[in-house]
């Protein structure tokens, strides 16, 4: 009796082992079987297609198992199956003598890994049974052969600039997504990919300049595939060396920026520094990674403006204003030649960009007595006539601003806007009784102690809203250009 497990003979496959019997017993049993036809312990021989593991079959080829003798066909058909990553493969089964064949419908997909499986018990026409457990992985090829990288540029070992790109030329149209996933470069460099319209040429373009005097290696794994799914015949790889950096850094863009979502970003794709407003910063984008240690002393705003300079990543810097740019005043963003790239090359020439920010002054748009006289967009020194409305000489005034105030700024403004006696000098000063904000841009003051004018002398008072750098602010950094004085005259009753 032969042990079929790991049988080295062609066309044989593993099956459950049977215990070896002593020669005398085998001889006796064989003699008895020959004489009486009672027992036949011979295994059922078979050959298969595929024969060897990982064999590549034609895309339209059949798989089969052929027995050395006639077997019970329905039982054998149930034992044959083909599996793929997507599940069981359907097909047409047919017999030619003792050969059971399966032709897939549809045809095999090139590059997909299949498994031929024949597992279970088979009965021969003589009544003898045998158990099989055959599993053979295989794939299907194509008449044209596997796709390949026909050539690439730069060639292996070439010396290239730090702005180099890699070209890959394929033997046929490729699956773009599969190729991009299969591509890698070392040391790591993030790349953008560009394809020819027919998908036979790929450009891998590094997003940043490569490091100078470095060897880079690229690899396209065998997971890359053609448009029909056929895998690359073999992985492709190559390498090149970068030259010493001979290109100095330059400024690509300077524009307003905001910090949002944990990152700095330009205000828009087309925004210019002239659109810079309160709460925004000026950001500079460089042509390559720069030495961050040189950024702080190289970026400034002229005339001298208080601010903080920060390097952002390797290719950008921001100037964060610590004071609101004065409306209408021309500024100039400067990047000095002390800025250097990582190779130590300085900016070729000083960069300057003049601009006038779009910041605006905080203004009083309306002021007046509630229920009485008012003025729109009043200038400094405007005179209003008012009338105290009760025996305590009380009057209420409102003032509206061009921008809304924050909570803290409302409290500050309420305490700093004042009403005082102006003329004659003997006039007693009024007192602020209450201050309120019916809206974020409107302050209401209630004052008492006004003295009526008489036939001998008119009495004047002055409301002062402090401006300038020491004045009130709306909370976003906007200031009034100057103090605003509104003179009010108590009318004769």
DSSP code, position 479: B
The whole-number pLDDT of residue 198 equals 96
Neighbours of 145 (CB within 10 A): 12
Supply the pLDDT for residue 389: 59
Predicted confidence at residue 388, as pLDDT, reads 65
Compute the distance between CA of residue 270 and CA of residue 248 in angstroms, rounded to an integer: 25
Does the domain at 149-242 match CATH 2.60.40.3710? Answer given as yes
CA 382 to mean position of chain CA atoms: 57
Q: What is the pLDDT of residues 120-166, one digit of tens each?
A: 999 999 999 999 999 999 988 776 778 899 999 999 999 998 889 99
For residue 185, how far is the Cα from the chain centroid? 20
Give residue 17's pLDDT. Answer: 40
Tell me the CATH number of domain 364-490, given options 1.10.3470, 3.30.1330, 1.20.120, 2.60.40.
2.60.40
Query: What's the token pair of residue 316?
Result: 């950008």
DSSP one-letter string for 22-37 = -HHHHHHHHHHHHHH-
Q: Where are the domains of the chain?
A: 23-140, 149-242, 251-355, 364-490
Q: Which of 48, 58, 60 is nearest to 116 (CA)?
A: 48
CATH of domain 251-355: 2.60.40.3710
Q: Which fold has domain 23-140?
A: Immunoglobulin-like (2.60.40)
Between CA 34 and CA 45 the distance in angstroms is 20
What is the distance between the alpha carbons of residues 276 and 197, in angstroms, rounded to a whole number? 41
Q: How far apart are CA 105 and CA 139, in angstroms?
A: 15
Helix (H, G, I), strand (E, B) or coil at 142: coil
Reported as type and span, the H/E element at residue 285 is strand 281-286
Domains 23-140 and 149-242 share a fold: yes
Helix (H) or strand (E) holding 467, with range, is: none
| Residue 171: closest CA among 147, 198, 204 | 147
For residue 483, give the 3-state DSSP assignment.
coil
Q: Three-state DSSP class for 365? A: strand
Give the distance, in angstroms, between the CA of residue 407 and the centroid of all CA atoms in the same chain: 37
Q: What does each C-alpha distance from 299 to 264, 267, 282, 350 come to in angstroms?
A: 17, 19, 10, 10
pLDDT of the residue at 379: 87
Strand 251-260 vs strand 395-401: parallel, antiparallel, or unpaired? unpaired
Token pair for residue 170? 């394929």
User: In the prediction, which pLDDT does 382 show?
Assistant: 84
From the list 431, 361, 339, the residue with the least C-alpha distance to 392 is 431
pTM exceeds 0.75 for this model: no
Residue 243 DSSP label? P
Q: What pLDDT score was predicted for residue 492? A: 58
Distance CA 188, CA 204 (A): 13
How confident is the prediction along the chain (493 residues), in pLDDT tens digits per residue? 333 333 333 344 444 444 434 433 433 444 444 445 556 778 999 999 999 988 888 877 899 999 999 999 999 999 999 999 989 999 999 999 999 999 998 888 877 889 999 999 999 999 999 999 999 999 887 767 788 999 999 999 999 988 899 999 999 999 999 999 999 999 999 999 999 999 999 999 999 888 888 999 999 998 999 988 888 878 999 999 998 877 889 999 999 999 988 999 998 878 899 999 999 999 999 998 899 999 999 999 999 999 999 999 889 999 999 989 999 999 999 999 999 998 888 999 999 999 999 999 999 999 998 888 889 999 888 888 877 656 678 889 999 999 999 999 999 999 999 999 999 888 889 999 999 999 999 999 999 988 877 777 788 999 999 999 899 999 888 999 999 999 988 775 5
Residue-level pLDDT at 8: 35
Backbone phi, then psi, for 160, in 5-degree steps? -130, 165
| CA dihedral over 309, 311, 312, 317, signed as positive or negative | positive
pLDDT of residue 38: 56
Closest CA to 415 of 394, 387, 435, 393: 435
For residue 73, the SS3 value is: helix
Distance CA 158, CA 311 (A): 34
Phi, psi of 178 (to 5 degrees): -65, -40
Do 287 and 314 form a contact (C-beta atoms < 8 A)?
no
CA distance 490 to 159: 89
CB 250 within 8 A of CB 287: yes
């Amino acid at each position: 009796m032969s042990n079929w497990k790991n049988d080295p003979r062609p066309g044989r496959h593993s099956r459950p082992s049977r215990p070896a019997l002593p020669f005398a017993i085998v001889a006796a049993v064989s003699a008895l079987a020959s004489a009486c036809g009672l027992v036949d312990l011979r295994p059922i021989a078979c050959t298969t297609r595929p024969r060897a593991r990982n064999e590549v079959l034609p895309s339209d080829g059949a798989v089969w198992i052929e027995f050395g003798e006639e077997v019970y066909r329905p039982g054998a058909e149930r034992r044959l199956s083909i599996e793929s990553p997507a599940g069981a493969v359907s097909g047409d089964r047919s017999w030619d003598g003792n050969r059971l064949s399966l032709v897939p419908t549809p045809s095999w997909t090139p590059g997909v890994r299949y498994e031929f499986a024949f597992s279970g018990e088979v009965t021969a026409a003589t009544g003898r049974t045998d158990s099989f457990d055959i599993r053979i992985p295989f794939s299907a090829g194509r008449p044209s052969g596997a796709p390949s990288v026909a050539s690439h540029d730069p060639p292996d070992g070439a010396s290239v600039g730090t702005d180099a790109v890699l070209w890959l030329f394929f033997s046929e149209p490729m699956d773009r997504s599969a190729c991009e996933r299969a591509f890698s470069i070392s040391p790591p460099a993030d790349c953008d990919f560009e394809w020819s319209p027919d998908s036979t040429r790929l450009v891998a373009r590094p997003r940043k300049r490569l490091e100078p005097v470095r060897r880079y290696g690229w690899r396209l794994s065998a997971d890359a595939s053609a448009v029909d799914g056929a895998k690359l015949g073999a992985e492709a790889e190559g390498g090149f060396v970068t030259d010493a950096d001979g290109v100095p850094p330059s400024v690509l863009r300077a524009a307003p920026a905001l910090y949002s979502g944990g990152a700095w970003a330009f205000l828009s794709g087309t925004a210019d520094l002239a659109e810079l407003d309160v709460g925004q910063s000026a950001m500079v984008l460089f042509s390559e990674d720069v030495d961050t240690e040189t950024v702080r002393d190289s970026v400034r705003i002229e005339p001298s403006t208080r601010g903080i300079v920060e390097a952002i990543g390797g290719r950008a810097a921001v100037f964060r204003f610590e004071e609101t740019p004065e409306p209408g005043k021309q500024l100039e963003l400067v990047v000095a030649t002390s800025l250097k790239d990582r190779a130590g090359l300085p900016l070729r020439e000083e960069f300057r960009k003049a601009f006038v920010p779009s910041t605006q002054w905080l203004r009083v748009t309306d002021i007046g007595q509630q229920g009485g006289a008012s003025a729109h967009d009043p200038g400094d020194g405007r005179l209003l006539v008012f009338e105290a409305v009760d025996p305590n000489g009380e009057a209420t005034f409102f003032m509206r601003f061009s921008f809304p105030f924050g909570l803290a700024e409302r409290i500050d403004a309420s305490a700093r806007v004042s009403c005082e006696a102006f003329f004659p000098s003997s006039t007693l000063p009024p007192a602020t009784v209450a201050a309120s904000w019916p809206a974020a841009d409107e302050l209401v003051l209630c004052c008492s102690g006004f003295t009526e004018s008489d036939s001998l002398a008119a009495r004047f008072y002055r409301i002062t809203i402090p401006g300038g750098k020491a004045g009130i602010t709306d909370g976003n950094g906007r200031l009034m250009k100057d103090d605003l004085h509104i003179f009010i005259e108590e009318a004769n009753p």
